[in-house]
């Protein structure tokens, strides 16, 4: 970004911290629902600038972290076939499934390749017509247009040896699931700016009205985040419950119409299993019947069923905002980025990885 220094100016951040401190008259709990924002908060020490009465909770905003073991087991089952090349983002390769991770399958001879975009996987398919290439498509609404574009391009070009194994999620249903869960303490949300760049924020307005909760669309730099927190606190103190847009330089209420049209053409909503959160209605994107030829689950009849893990990892409670990473008894002892027990420590956007990297908290 060309003009980024202004969004990292310590004096401006401090000014907003003072605004928050002066405006706060009672305890408030605010959840960010983006792993990038979580890392920015911890890296910049934003939470430590806030008055003790403001609690920041870290929600399920990391796509790697919420991908269920069942999806990883399916990816491993596909990769283990002699005729399939599995392409994946790097973070996903070390996330544990039921009994192993994709890296272990690769070590045993599976053809697993790390790529940086679905178009990389499509190119591999185009240049290797004798291989069946499966891209492990994960993410929220941010990555979904790229995955949709790859499938649409494969259909247009007649590249039939390319398919997606989808673990693609939608944010608004997760917010509703958290708000309707027993013991929820979240009183305001910071919505992810990149998701809203694609989808806009009109779909958040019914949620704000139904649950009487402020939602602030927020960017990713320190000044973005503390300004978003200030906007949320002012709403809470004033008793208003609307959707506000802090990230005006990138987000419009209607989002990106072209990207949304492509998503609607290629995907449809379905119930989805989230790691740590369970099944959330209409929270997952799956390929429409018109693109069934590019759906790896239907194409290869994947039927693996993941067993529940008995790991001591408490990432599910962290993703719900009920615990902080440092509350976990295994944090920094038996769980580290080198030897992770759960997805929130593996992912570069995971809350546990952020606390481990930026906070000198070791038990």
Sorting pLDDT into bands at 50, 70 and 90, what band is 338?
Answer: confident
How remote is the C-alpha of 103 from its chain's centroid?
21
Q: What's the whole-number average pLDDT of the chain?
A: 92
Q: What is the mean pLDDT of residues 66-80?
A: 93
Q: 5-62+173-188+203-237 domain in CATH 3.40.50.920?
A: no
**Residue-wise burial string across 232-261, b where 16 or more C-beta atoms lie within 10 A, e elsewhere:** bbbbbeeeebebbbbbeeebeeebbeebbe
Asked whether the beta carbons of 179 and 187 are under 8 A apart, the reply is no
pLDDT value, residue 363: 47
DSSP assignments along 81-100, one per residue: STTEEEEE-GGGGGS--SS-
264-293: pLDDT as tens digits: 999 999 999 998 889 999 999 999 999 999
pLDDT value, residue 95: 84
CATH architecture of 64-171+255-300: 3-Layer(aba) Sandwich (3.40)
107-119: pLDDT as tens digits: 999 999 999 999 9
pLDDT value, residue 78: 95
Name the residue ranges covered by the structural domains of the chain.
5-62+173-188+203-237, 64-171+255-300, 318-358
The three-class DSSP label of residue 280 is strand
Give me the residues paired with residue 284 across strands: 169, 270
13-40: pLDDT as tens digits: 999 999 999 999 999 999 999 999 999 9
Domains 5-62+173-188+203-237 and 64-171+255-300 share a fold: yes
For residues 303, 308, 310, 315, the Cα torsion angle rounded to the nearest 10 degrees is 110
- Helices then strands, counting H and E runs in the chain, come out as 17, 11
């Amino acid at each position: 970004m060309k003009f980024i220094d202004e969004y990292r100016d310590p004096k401006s951040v401090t000014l907003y911290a003072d605004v928050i401190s002066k405006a706060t008259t009672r305890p408030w709990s605010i959840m960010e629902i983006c792993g990038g924002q979580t890392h920015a908060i911890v890296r910049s020490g934003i939470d430590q600038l806030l008055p003790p009465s403001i609690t920041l909770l870290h929600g399920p905003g990391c796509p790697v972290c919420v991908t269920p073991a069942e999806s990883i087991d399916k990816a491993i089952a596909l990769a283990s076939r002699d005729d399939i090349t599995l392409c994946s983002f790097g973070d996903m390769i070390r996330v544990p499934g039921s009994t192993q991770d994709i890296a272990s399958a690769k070590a045993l001879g599976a053809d697993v390749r790390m790529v940086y975009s679905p178009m990389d996987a499509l190119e591999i398919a185009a240049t290797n017509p004798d291989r069946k290439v499966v891209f492990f498509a994960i993410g929220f609404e941010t990555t979904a247009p790229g995955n949709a574009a790859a499938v649409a391009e494969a259909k247009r070009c007649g590249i039939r040896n390319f398919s997606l194994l989808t673990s693609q999620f939608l944010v608004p249903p997760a917010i509703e699931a958290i708000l309707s869960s027993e013991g929820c303490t979240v009183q305001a949300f910071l919505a992810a700016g990149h998701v809203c760049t694609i989808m806009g924020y009109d779909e958040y307005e019914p949620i704000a009205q139904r649950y009487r909760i402020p939602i602030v669309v927020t960017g990713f730099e320190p000044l973005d985040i503390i300004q978003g927190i200030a906007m949320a606190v002012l709403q809470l103190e004033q008793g208003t419950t609307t959707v506000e847009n802090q990230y005006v330089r990138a987000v419009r209420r209607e989002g990106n119409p072209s990207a949304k049209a492509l998503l609607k053409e290629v995907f449809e909503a379905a119930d989805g299993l989230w790691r740590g959160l369970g099944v959330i209605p209409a929270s997952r994107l799956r390929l429409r019947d018109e693109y069934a030829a590019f759906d790896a689950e239907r194409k290869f009849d994947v039927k693996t069923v993941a067993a529940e893990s008995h790991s001591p990892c408490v990432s599910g409670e962290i993703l719900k905002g009920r615990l902080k990473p440092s509350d976990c008894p295994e944090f920094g002892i038996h769980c580290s980025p080198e030897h992770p027990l759960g997805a929130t420590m593996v992912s570069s956007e995971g809350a546990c990885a952020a606390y481990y990297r930026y906070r000198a908290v070791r038990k």
